[in-house]
Structure 1
Amino acid sequence: MSEELAIPSESELHRRITTRLGDADPEEVAAILTAHGLDLTAPLPARRELVVHRLYCEGVKSTGTAAKDGPFTLDIPLGPGPWAIASEINSAGKSSVLWALSFALRGEGFAAFRRPETVGWFHYVRADVEVGGVAASVRLTFERPGRPHARLLSADALPALLALEGRGEEGPGVRTVSEAEPPEVEALIGRFMMDRLGLRPISVWTAEPGAPKGEDGQRDSTEQVHGWPSFFYALALNSANDTILLGPTTVGQLPVRLMQLFLDVPYASELTRLVTARKAELQEESRVARRADEDARARQQKVEPLRAALADAQQRLRDLRDAQPDITALLQAVERAAAQVVACQDAHQVAAGQLEAARKNRLADQRAARRARQSSAARLLLGALDPEACPRCDHDIDDARRAIEDTEHRCSVCANPLPDEPNDPEAAQEALTRIDDRLAASQAAETRFKAAADQAARTLEGARTAYEDAAAALAAARSGEAFTLLEQTQQEVFTLQGALTLAAGETTGALPALAAALSEPIAQPTGPHPLNDERVLAVATEVVKEVVDAHSRALFTELNGEILAIAQALGVTNLGSVNLNLAGHLNAIKSGAKHPYSSFSPVDRLRMRIAAVVGMVRVGRRRGIVSHPGLLLIDAPTADEVVPETAHQVLQTLYDTGNDIPGIQMIITSTESAVWDIFPEDRIVTGVDGRELF
C-alpha cells in the first residue's frame, strides 16, 4: 500500500460516517450497513497467484484439414516465466490451445481465442495449476462441443498431480473435490477461482433496457454482478478490434473497477457494493413515489366510475339479501317433514303387519274349505279345531298326517281313529256353508287391510318426497355459491367504499375513521434528519469513496508511469504521456495531441492493454503485494505488425518482462521467426518442424 496514505480502520470509517450524520448512534449505523451486507473491515494485503504447470488435451481433428487429420494428443509442461506457443505457419492451432486452456481456467472458453472450426475437435482438456498456493487439476470431458462435464481434483502437493498420466485421476494424496454437469461448469470454476484468489464480485448499476425515464431523467436500473469471467479479461489479452481497455464492458466504469481490484485499492469492493445498495434504495424510493403519483392521477380519473360501480354493487347486495330465504323456516319444515316420515313409517309397518295376518287367515280358510270338499273326515271336524301344529309340542302338522286323516280316518293331531261320519247331508251342507262364510270374511278382511297398506305406502312415499324437497330447499339456501356470491358482493362494496374514500375524501356512509385519519395533516419532523437506510448509505458512500479515490489517484499516478514505459518498449510510437483517471479514461497524448484509447490502432490497443496489466503487476509486486494473479495469456501480440524490427522488440520486451517480474507467467502465441531467436527451446511449444501443433 501507499506509504503516504494510511488505510482507515473499520471503527475510523464508522466514526467519520456517524460524525457526518450528526453524531448518530454508531451501533445503529453499523446495523444498517450490516443489514445491507456491507462489511467495512480493513482489507488484508492480497496474495493472488495463478500458475499453469501442465496442459493436456485429447481430441479428433476433422478430416479435410491441411495436415494431421484424426486423433491427437497434446501434453504441454508449463510453469512460471515466459512461454511461446509458436509456429511458422498460420492455422496451426495456437489460438485453439489458448482457448482450451482458457476453458479450463474460466469454465467457459475465452471468446477472443475461439476458432469455430476447432471447438468440436477437443474431447478432453486437463489443466494442472496452482491457485493461491493450492494444487488443483481441472478435468473437462466434452460430450458435446463446448459443453463439458467438469471434475476438480486436488492434491497435497503439486508433483502428485503432475505424476498422473493422461486422464488418470488416482494417485497418492490425490482426491476429487467437486464435479459439475455442463450448465454448472462455469459456476464451479468461477467459485473455486474466486475463493482461492480472495476475490469479491463487482456490482455495477445499469439502466434496464426500454425502461421509461422518470421526472429526474433517470431510468429504472438493475444490478449487474461481475465475477470471474469478467476478471479473466485481465489475464486473457488478444488483438481483437475492440475499444475497451479492460473488461467486457464500460458500463458502471467496470474497467477502472477492475484496475482498482487488481491494484488492491482498499475498500474498492466495498465501495461498489455501497453504490449498488444506495442506488437500489434510491430506486425503490423513486418507484414508491412514482407509484404514489400514478395512483393519485389514477384516483382522480376513477372517482366517477367508482361512484357508479359502488352504486351498482350496493344494489346487487340489496337484491341478494332480499333473495336470501328464511333458514329458520326451512329448518322447521325439514324437522316437520322428518317427523311425518317417521309417523308414516310406523303406520305403514302396522298396516303391513295387519295385511300379513289377514293373508295368513285367508290362506288357512282356503285350505280348510278345500279339504272340507275333498275329505269326509275333514267335514266331520269342520266345526272342530283344525290346528296347524300340535298344541303340545308345536310340531307342524304336515300334509302326510292330513292325508292319513283323509284316507285312514285317523286324527292328524293324536292319530286316534276318527268317529264315524254321520250320514246327515243337511249337517254337512251347513258345515260347508259355515266354512265358506269364514273364507269370505277372511278374504274381505285381507282386501281391506291391503287397501289400508297401499294407502299407508303412498302416504309414506309422499312424506319422503316432502322431506327430500324440504332438505333440498335447505341445502340450496345453504349452498356455498349463494353465500360466496353474497360475501363477494359485500367485499366489493367495502372495497369500493374504501377506494372512493381515498380517491375523493368521501365517506359514503362508511369508513369514517379512515377518512378522518386521512384528512389529518401529516406532522412534519422537527430536529435532526431521521436516520434512515438511504441517508446512512449516502454518507457511507461519500466516506468510502474519498478513501478509494485518494488511494486510486496515488496508485494510478504510479501506474501511469509504468504504462507509458511498457507501451513505449512494446513499440507504441510517439506516445508522450498517459493520465489514467478515476473514470477509466486513458487520456493519452500521442504525437503531441490528445489520443483516446479508441483511436489507437488495433495492434497498439493490444499493446496498451498489455502495458496496463503488466503495469498493475509491477506496481503490486513493488509494494509487496500479489494483487494480480500474475498469469497473462496473449494471443498474437505482433499479428498486425509489418516492421520486423518492431516485432522483434515486442517479443523481446515480453520475454524480458516474463523473466524480470517475480511470480509472473506469460504465455503468448506467435508466428514470428524472432521467437526462435529470443525464447529458449524449452520455452517454445510448437509442432514438428515448427508447423501444426496437432
Structure 2
Amino acid sequence: MADETALETRIAARAKVAVGDVRSVFEAQGIPLGLPPARPRSLRIHRLRLAGVRTGTLEPGPFDKTFEFADGLTALVASNLRGKSSVLELVTWCLRGTPRETSGAIHWLTEVDLDATVAGQAMGFRLNLQSQEITSAIALSGPDQQTLATLRSPDPAQGVLPLFRATNSESYAQQVEALMMQWMDLQPLVSAQKGTTAVAHGWPAYYGALYMPPARSAALLGDVVMAGLSGRLLQVFLDLPAAAVLAKVKTQTTLMVTARQRRQSTATTAQAERAEQRGQIEADLAAAHARLAQLTQAAGGSEQESLADLAEATKRVSTAAVNSEEAWEELMRLHRQARSQRQRDEKLLNDVRESGIARRLFHGLDPTTCPRCDQGFADERRQLEVRDHSCAVCARPVQGDDESPEDVVAEAEERVKSSKEAERLAREALEQAETELDQVSRDLRAAQDRLRQADAAARVPEHAQAREAVLRLEGALSVLPELPPPAVDPAEDLAIKVLRAAAKTLEDDHEKEAARLFTDLNAEISDLARTFGFAALESVSINRAAHLAITSDGGKERNFTDQVPGERLRLRIAVIVALLRVGAAHQISTHPGLLLIDSPKAEEIQDVDIHLLLQELNDVAETNHLQVLVTTADFGLAHDVLPAENIKEAAEGKPLW
C-alpha cells in the first residue's frame, strides 16, 4: 500500500516547501490533493427496445422489438447487414451519448429505450428520434428494472424520477457523459497536446474499453492510441492511487514548463535582437557625431548651438518680453491715473483757498457723469459751478460759506501731498519696469540673433544633413531602450516545483501498488490468453503505460502490435477479464464488466479457434461477473456454444429487429 502519511505532507517534504504552499498550488490549479478509492462501477444492460417504421422491400412497416439481456455471454445472430452491429451501436448511443458508427437502418427508428444498472442504480434511457437525430430524450432512475420497463416518462408515485432531459443529440451526449462520469466515479483523463494545450478525455474514452475496437487497432485498452490513454485507462481500472490526479499533475506541469520555456526563449531572443539593434544604432550615431564635429571644425568655430535649444530659449525670452511689456503698460496706466489725481487735487486746493462755494462743495460728491443716465457733464456746467455758483449735477444755486475754512484747506493740502506721493511711487515703478523691459528686449534681440545665426549655419547643406542624422539616430536610440532580462515569477516557480514533486510522489505510490498488482495481472492475462486459444503464448509483461510484451514460440519476445488481429482480440479480452479477476482478488474497483464485441470471427480467426474462444469466454463471463455481447452471422457457432436463452437471432435473411 502507498505511504499512509498525508499526500500533501510527503509532497511538501520532497519539494522542501511548506504544506500550506502545496495546498495553495493544488487549489490554484484546480487539482484535488488525491482521491479516495473508487466506488464500485459495474455496468449491466437489461433491456433494449427499438420502435419505428421500416421502409424498403424487406418486411416494410411498423416494428416494436425488445431484447432482454442477462449476465454472461449473449450472441446476436443474423445474416450480414441485418441489424446485428446496429444493436451494439444503439446500446452505445444510449450509454456513451453518441454511436461509434451510424448504421443506415437507424433512420427507421422513432423510439429507443435502454434499461441498465449503473453502479448499482437502476436507470432507463428513453430516446425519441427523427431522421437519425434525437428530438427529445430523458434519463430515469427507478427502484428496480421491473418498474422501469413499464415506463417511458417519470412517475414519482412509483419512485421513477428524471435524471436529466435533452432536446437534441448534442445536449444528450453532454449530459450522458456528465451522468456516467459521476455515477461511475471517474475523473477526466487530462493530457497535454503539443505541450501547449490541455485536452480532457471523458466518458467516451472510458467507453472505448467496453466496446472492443477493430482487432487491427494498435490500442491494447480503449480505442484511442494517442495521448497514452491505454495506460491511463489501465491505471484507473487498477485503481492505482489518484491515477486521474497524477495525469492532471503531469499535464499541468508540462503546460507550465513549456509556457515558461517559450516565454523565456522569446524574451532572450528579443533581448538579443534589441541589443543588436542598439549596437548598430550606437555605431551609426558615433559616426554621425564624428562627421558633425568635422564639419563644425571645418567651418572655423565651435559646434553650433542646437536649433531646438535656441528656439526654446528664444521662446522663453519672448514670453518674458511680452509679460514685461504688459506690466509696463499697466504701470504706465497707473502712473497716468496718479498724475491726473494729483492735478485734480492741486486744482481743488486752489479752489478751496479762493472760494467759499468750493469749500462748501469740498466734502460732497465729485461725479464726472450723471448718476442716472451715466452721461458725462459738459465743461460749461463745471464752469458755471465756479462762475455762477450753480451745482454741476442739479444746476441749482449753491449759497453760503464753509464755517471752518482752515480745516478744509488743510485737508485739501493733505490730499495733494498724498496724491504727489502716489504719483512718485507710480513713476518709480514705471521707471523700474522700463529698465526691465529694456533688458528683456535686448535679451530677445540677442536670442533672435543667435537663432538666426544658428539657423543660417544649419542651412549649410552638409552641416544640416549631419545634424539631422545625429538627431534622427538619437531619437531612434531613445525609443529602443535596453530590454530587461526575462521576468521571474516566484508563484510560477513554486507551482512547478510543487507539481514536479507531486508527480514524483504519486509515481512512487503507483510503483508500489503496481508491484503488488502487476504480477497477478500478468499471470491472469497469460492464463486467459492461452485459454482463449493463444496456444504458443509463454508469458506476458504489462506495464503502467499498457505496453504489453508477449513471449511466445520458444522465448521470442514481441510487442502487442506485432500480433495478428486474432491474437490481438484474444489479448484484449484477456486483459479485461484479468482486470476483473485482479480487482475482485484485491477488492478494488476496476473495469465496469460490460464488453461489446462485433463479429469476432471476421478477425482472421479459424472456425475451431472461434468456437474455443466463445466457449471459454462464456465460461469466464459466468464466473467473473462479466456481461458480453457478441455479434455473428454464423448460426451454427452460436448454437454450438450457447444455450438458446443466450441467443438473440433472426431467421437467415431476416432482420434482427
RMSD: 3.6
What amino acid is the match of 1:547?
D
Return the alpha-carbon distance in structure 2 between the equivalents of residues 148 and 680 of structure 1. Answer: 39
Render the CA deviation track for 1:545-604: whole Å, top value 9, x for unaligned: 111122124322211111111111111231121111233211111213222212222222
Render the CA deviation track for 1:464-517: whole Å, top value 9, x for unaligned: xxxxxxxxxxxxxxxxxxxxxxxxxxxxxxx988742235xxxxxxxxxxxxxx
1:534 Cα deviation from its structure 2 partner: 0.8
1:150 Cα deviation from its structure 2 partner: 2.6
1:42 Cα deviation from its structure 2 partner: 5.1
1:76 Cα deviation from its structure 2 partner: 1.0
Return the alpha-carbon distance in structure 1 between the equivalents of residues 94 and 139 of structure 2. Answer: 10
- Aligned partner of 1:223 in structure 2 is 198
What amino acid is the match of 1:109?
P
- Do the aligned residues in 1 keep the contact of 2:109 with 2:130 (CA within 8 Å)? no
CA 1:285–1:90: 2 relative to 1, 3 Å? same
Which secondary structure state, in structure 1, belongs to the residue aligned with residue 64 of structure 2?
strand
- Do the aligned residues in 1 keep the contact of 2:221 with 2:546 (CA within 8 Å)? no
What amino acid is the match of 2:584?
R
- Do the aligned residues in 1 keep the contact of 2:51 with 2:64 (CA within 8 Å)? yes
1:120-159 map, 5 Å: 120-147=107-134, 149-159=136-146
Q: Is 2:616 the counterpart of 1:636?
A: no
* Aligned partner (choices 585, 608, 611) of residue 574 of structure 2: 611
Render the CA deviation track for 1:621-659: whole Å, top value 9, x for unaligned: 222233221111111222245533222111111111221
- Aligned partner of 2:220 in structure 1 is 245
Q: Is 2:32 the counterpart of 1:57?
A: no
Return the alpha-carbon distance in structure 2 between the equivalents of residues 231 and 92 of structure 1. Answer: 28
Return the alpha-carbon distance in structure 1 between the equivalents of residues 644 and 153 of structure 2. Answer: 28
- Aligned partner of 1:189 in structure 2 is 176
- Aligned partner of 2:291 in structure 1 is none
CA 1:580–1:236: 2 relative to 1, 3 Å? same
1:144 Cα deviation from its structure 2 partner: 3.0
- Aligned partner of 2:631 in structure 1 is 669
- Aligned partner of 2:12 in structure 1 is 18
Return the alpha-carbon distance in structure 2 between the equivalents of residues 37 and 100 of structure 1. Answer: 36
1:245-644 map, 5 Å: 245-300=220-275, 302-303=277-278, 499-503=479-483, 532-592=494-554, 593-641=556-604, 643-644=606-607
- Do the aligned residues in 1 keep the contact of 2:109 with 2:129 (CA within 8 Å)? yes
Return the alpha-carbon distance in structure 1 between the equivalents of residues 33 and 511 of structure 2. Answer: 16
- Aligned partner of 1:369 in structure 2 is none
- Do the aligned residues in 2 keep the contact of 1:119 with 1:146 (CA within 8 Å)? no
Return the alpha-carbon distance in structure 1 between the equivalents of residues 153 and 140 of structure 2. Answer: 11
Return the alpha-carbon distance in structure 2 between the equivalents of residues 46 and 71 of structure 1. Answer: 43
- Do the aligned residues in 2 keep the contact of 1:8 with 1:42 (CA within 8 Å)? no
- Do the aligned residues in 2 keep the contact of 1:578 with 1:589 (CA within 8 Å)? yes
1:56 Cα deviation from its structure 2 partner: 0.8
Following TM superposition, the consecutive aligned residue runs of length 4 or more in structure 1 with deviations greater than 6 angstroms are 304-308, 495-498
- Do the aligned residues in 1 keep the contact of 2:189 with 2:248 (CA within 8 Å)? yes
- Aligned partner of 2:64 in structure 1 is 73
Which secondary structure state, in structure 2, belongs to the residue aligned with residue 638 of structure 1?
helix
Please give the TM-score of this superposition, normalised by the length of structure 2: 0.66
Q: Is 2:163 the counterpart of 1:177?
A: yes
1:161 Cα deviation from its structure 2 partner: 0.5
Mean Cα displacement is larger for which, 40-49 or 27-36?
A: 40-49
Flag structure 2 segments of 5+ consecutive residues without an equivalent.
Answer: 285-306, 320-474
- Do the aligned residues in 2 keep the contact of 1:238 with 1:636 (CA within 8 Å)? no
CA 1:642–1:606: 2 relative to 1, 3 Å? closer
What amino acid is the match of 2:122?
A
1:240 Cα deviation from its structure 2 partner: 4.2
1:522 Cα deviation from its structure 2 partner: 11
CA 1:535–1:230: 2 relative to 1, 3 Å? same
- Aligned partner of 1:394 in structure 2 is none
Return the alpha-carbon distance in structure 1 between the equivalents of residues 126 and 279 of structure 2. Answer: 70
1:95-106 map, 5 Å: 95-106=85-96
CA 1:94–1:169: 2 relative to 1, 3 Å? farther
What amino acid is the match of 1:501?
P
CA 1:238–1:283: 2 relative to 1, 3 Å? closer
CA 1:91–1:18: 2 relative to 1, 3 Å? same
Return the alpha-carbon distance in structure 2 between the equivalents of residues 304 and 128 of structure 1. Answer: 76
Render the CA deviation track for 1:413-450: whole Å, top value 9, x for unaligned: xxxxxxxxxxxxxxxxxxxxxxxxxxxxxxxxxxxxxx
Return the alpha-carbon distance in structure 2 between the equivalents of residues 142 and 522 of structure 1. Answer: 57
Q: How many residues align?
A: 474
Which secondary structure state, in structure 2, belongs to the residue aligned with residue 500 of structure 1?
coil
- Aligned partner of 2:610 in structure 1 is 647
Return the alpha-carbon distance in structure 1 between the equivalents of residues 477 and 165 of structure 2. Answer: 60
1:264 Cα deviation from its structure 2 partner: 0.9
1:299 Cα deviation from its structure 2 partner: 2.1
Return the alpha-carbon distance in structure 1 between the equivalents of residues 493 and 265 of structure 2. Answer: 23
What amino acid is the match of 1:251?
M
Return the alpha-carbon distance in structure 1 between the equivalents of residues 179 and 487 of structure 2. Answer: 54
1:199 Cα deviation from its structure 2 partner: 0.4
Which secondary structure state, in structure 2, belongs to the residue aligned with residue 236 of structure 1?
coil
Return the alpha-carbon distance in structure 1 between the equivalents of residues 170 and 240 of structure 2. Answer: 34
Return the alpha-carbon distance in structure 2 between the equivalents of residues 625 and 295 of structure 1. Answer: 54
Percent identity of the aligned residues?
29
What amino acid is the match of 2:33?
L
Render the CA deviation track for 1:274-322: whole Å, top value 9, x for unaligned: 10121122012112202202322442465499999xxxxx99xx99xx9
- Aligned partner of 1:368 in structure 2 is none
